[in-house]
Every structure is written in structure tokens, then in C-alpha cells.
Structure 1
Amino acid sequence: MIVGIGVDIVDLARFERAVRRTPGLVERLFAESERALPLRSLAGRFAAKEALMKALGETANIRWHDMEVVSDDEGNPSFRLGGVASEIAERRGIGRIHLSMAHDAGVAIAYVVAES
């Protein structure tokens, strides 16, 4: 059963300006394993984290590092949850989280489905 859905879109140029303007933003938003990725991939991961918070239906006290986007051997993305994000998922009975991300024409988009 679907527990929640979330979608988010990020303007790549605006995201790039924010990263250049704010030292430490990449470290604050992304786990160490994510930081070396190209900017468009980081924008996609930011959209994914925003979409996940919408799908969880609760955002109080979630830290950005509680939501890490990882990829399997075929490049398929998924989340590694920790901290408060993991607690919320458990409390809401979420057993599986589906993630799709794309970037094109100057935007990155992510779609999340949380399932019990």
C-alpha cells in the first residue's frame, strides 16, 4: 500500500549559484559518499531528499545526512536512511521506498513513492 508520494524539481543554474555563493552547502546537504558527484547529480539528489521528506509526510528534526542517495551496481538509485528519517519511516510502517531521478533542459527532478 502506498503510504506517501513526493516530487521535487531543482533549477540547475539556481542550484549552482547557491553552491558557489554558500561555502559549506555541499557538506551540509550531502553525505561524504555523495559530495564528489557532478553538480547536476547533486541537484538530483537534493530533489530526491526534498521529495522523500514529502513522501514521509513529516519533516521535524530530519537532517540532510539522514537521507543518503546510493546506487546499486546497475546505477539504480535508492535511499540509505538513518537517524530521524529512519525513525519516521519505521513509525509510519514504510518498508520500501522507490526513487526515480532525472535531469534535462536545466532542471533535475525526483519522484519518491513510500510503500508499506
Structure 2
Amino acid sequence: MAVVGVGIDVVDVARFEEALQRTPGLRTRLFTPEEAARPLASLAARFAAKEALAKALGAPTGLAWHDAEVVSSPDGRPSFALRGTVAARAQELGAAAVHVSLSHDAGISSAVVVLEG
């Protein structure tokens, strides 16, 4: 398989928390109910993952936040559930696999996404 896209993003957790407090509807606009229930650092990492995925997809306009859901396997490994606008763009690029890695430490959350075709 060949790499068809790569994205990375970093989120300052304190700034992210301020944004969520300043704009109460932001949490529901960005996250599915399952994602929104996660602790703050984990939520910031999921936001970073969605941003990294958008970059890997070429940052096209019209992607819906809920169309890229970060889910965790029983052992805690993150992955994406893609649907709608995001799945269509991934298919357009020929992405057969989406890999995501999340991290959070020292007030920073980060994510890396690799698309393979």
C-alpha cells in the first residue's frame, strides 16, 4: 500500500478548554455524544485527530465534524469511524486504511493520521 495522505495536529488543552467554555455549543458541534463524554485531554486529542485527518484529506471544504468519529477498541487503541462527507473524500483519494495515533502530556494533546491506499 502507498501513503496517500499524512496529517498532524497539536492542541493546547487549556486553550481548548477555554474555547469550550466560551462557546457552549462547540462540544456538540465538534463531537458525537460518545466522544463528547470523554475527559478533557482525551477530547482535545480527538479534536487534534479530526484536524489531522482533514489535513491528510487535503483540507477540502464541506467536511462534517461528526462524519469522522474517533472510537477506541476494547484495548484502548484509537481508530476512525468514517461516514458521509469524510468517507466520500477518503474514497476519492483511494484511502483504503486510516491510521491514527493520539497522545496527551504536559498540557498538550496531539494526533498523527496516515492514509494508505
Structure 1 length-normalised TM = 0.98
User: CA separation in 2, counterparts of 1:47 and 1:38?
Assistant: 14
- Aligned pairs for 1:4-43 (under 5 A) are 4-43=5-44
Measured after TM superposition, the shift of residue 59 of structure 1 is 2.2
Partner deviation per Cα, 1:49-99 (whole Å, 9 max, x = no partner):
000001111421101001100011111000001111000011111000000
Q: Which residue of 1 aligns with 2:60?
A: 59
Give the structure-2-normalised TM-score.
0.97
Distance in 2 between the 1:58 and 1:87 partners? 13
Quick check: 98-107 or 51-60, which moved more?
51-60
CA distance in 2, matches of 1:18, 1:60: 22
- C-alpha separation between the residues in 2 aligned to 1:8 and 1:43? 10
Q: Which runs of 5+ in 1 are unaligned?
A: none
**Partner residue in 2 for 1:93:** 94
Cα RMSD of the aligned pairs, angstroms, is 0.7
Greater shift after overlay, 56-65 or 23-32?
56-65
Identity across the alignment (%):
54
Give the aligned residue type for 1:12: V
- Where structure 2 has 5 or more consecutive residues not aligned to the other structure, the ranges are none
Amino acid aligned to 1:107: I
Matched letter for residue 14 of structure 1: R
Deviating above 3 A after TM superposition, structure 1's stretches of 4 or more consecutive aligned residues are: none
